[in-house]
Amino acid sequence: MQQWQAALDSAGEGIWGLDWEGNCTFVNRMAVSTFGFSIEEMVGNNMHDLVHHHYPDGRHFPNSECPIYGVLRKNEPLRKVMDTMFRKDGSSFIAEVSAQPVLVNGKVTGVVVTFRDVTELCRQQEDMRKLYDLAEQRTAELDAVIESMPHAVYVATRGSAVRCNRRARKMSGEEFPAALHTLDRALAGESSTETMQTADRWIRSTAAPIFLNGEIFGGVAVNTDVTQTRLQDEALRRSEKLAAVGQLASSIAHEINNPLESITNLLYLMRHSSAMEDVQEYARIAQEELTRVTEITLQTLRFHRQQSKPAEVDTAELLRTVMSLYSGRMLAKDINIDVKLVASPPVLCLEGEIRQVINNLVRNALDAMIEGGRLSIRLHPQSDRKSGCRGVRLTIADTGEGIRPDIENRLFEPFQTTKELTGTGLGLWVSKGIVEKHGGNIRTRTRRGVRHGTVFAVWLPVSSGLNLTVAAD
pLDDT at 470: 37
Closest CA to 441 of 461, 459, 463, 466: 459
User: Is-same-fold flag (2-122; 137-225)?
Assistant: yes
- In angstroms, rounded to a whole number, what is the distance separating the alpha carbons of residues 381 and 343? 7
Burial of 343 (0-12, 13-18, 19+ CB in 10 A): exposed
Tell me the residue type at 423. Answer: G
> Nearest 5°: phi and psi at 241?
-65, -40
Can you give the C-alpha Rg of the chain in angstroms?
Answer: 46
If you ran DSSP here, which 8-state letter would residue 89 be given? T
Low-confidence residues of the chain: pLDDT under 70: 1, 233, 235-255, 257-258, 261-262, 292, 295-308, 414-426, 449-451, 464-473
The CATH H-level superfamily of 137-225 is PAS domain (3.30.450.20)
Residues ≥6 apart with Cβ < 8 Å to 9: 28, 29, 30
Q: How far is CA 69 from CA 20, 22, 42, 49, 142, in A?
A: 9, 7, 17, 12, 51
> For residues 400 and 452, is the Cβ–Cβ distance under 8 A?
yes
Right CATH for 2-122 from 3.40.50.2300, 3.30.450.20, 1.10.40.50, 3.40.720.10: 3.30.450.20
Q: Is 68 helix (H, G, I), strand (E, B) or coil?
A: helix
pLDDT at 303: 54
- In angstroms, rounded to a whole number, what is the distance separating the alpha carbons of residues 258 and 219? 66
Class assignment of domain 231-461? alpha beta
**Phi-psi category of 173—alpha, beta or left, where left has phi over 0 and alpha has psi -120 to 50?**
left
- In angstroms, rounded to a whole number, what is the distance separating the alpha carbons of residues 269 and 282? 7
- In angstroms, rounded to a whole number, what is the distance separating the alpha carbons of residues 321 and 146? 54
pLDDT at 33: 92
HSE of 361, CA atoms in CB hemisphere, 13 A: 29
If you ran DSSP here, which 8-state letter would residue 431 be given? H
- In angstroms, rounded to a whole number, what is the distance separating the alpha carbons of residues 266 and 251? 24
DSSP for 101-146?
EEEETTEEEEEEEEEEE-HHHHHHHHHHHHHHHHHHHHHHHHHHHH
Closest CA to 354 of 423, 306, 419, 410: 306
> For residues 164 and 153, is the Cβ–Cβ distance under 8 A?
yes
pLDDT at 333: 83
> For residues 302 and 321, is the Cβ–Cβ distance under 8 A?
yes
> For residues 357 and 313, is the Cβ–Cβ distance under 8 A?
no
Tell me the residue type at 355. Answer: R
Burial of 205 (0-12, 13-18, 19+ CB in 10 A): buried
Cα torsion angle, 216, 217, 222, 223, sign: positive
Domain spans of the chain, in order of start: 2-122, 137-225, 231-461
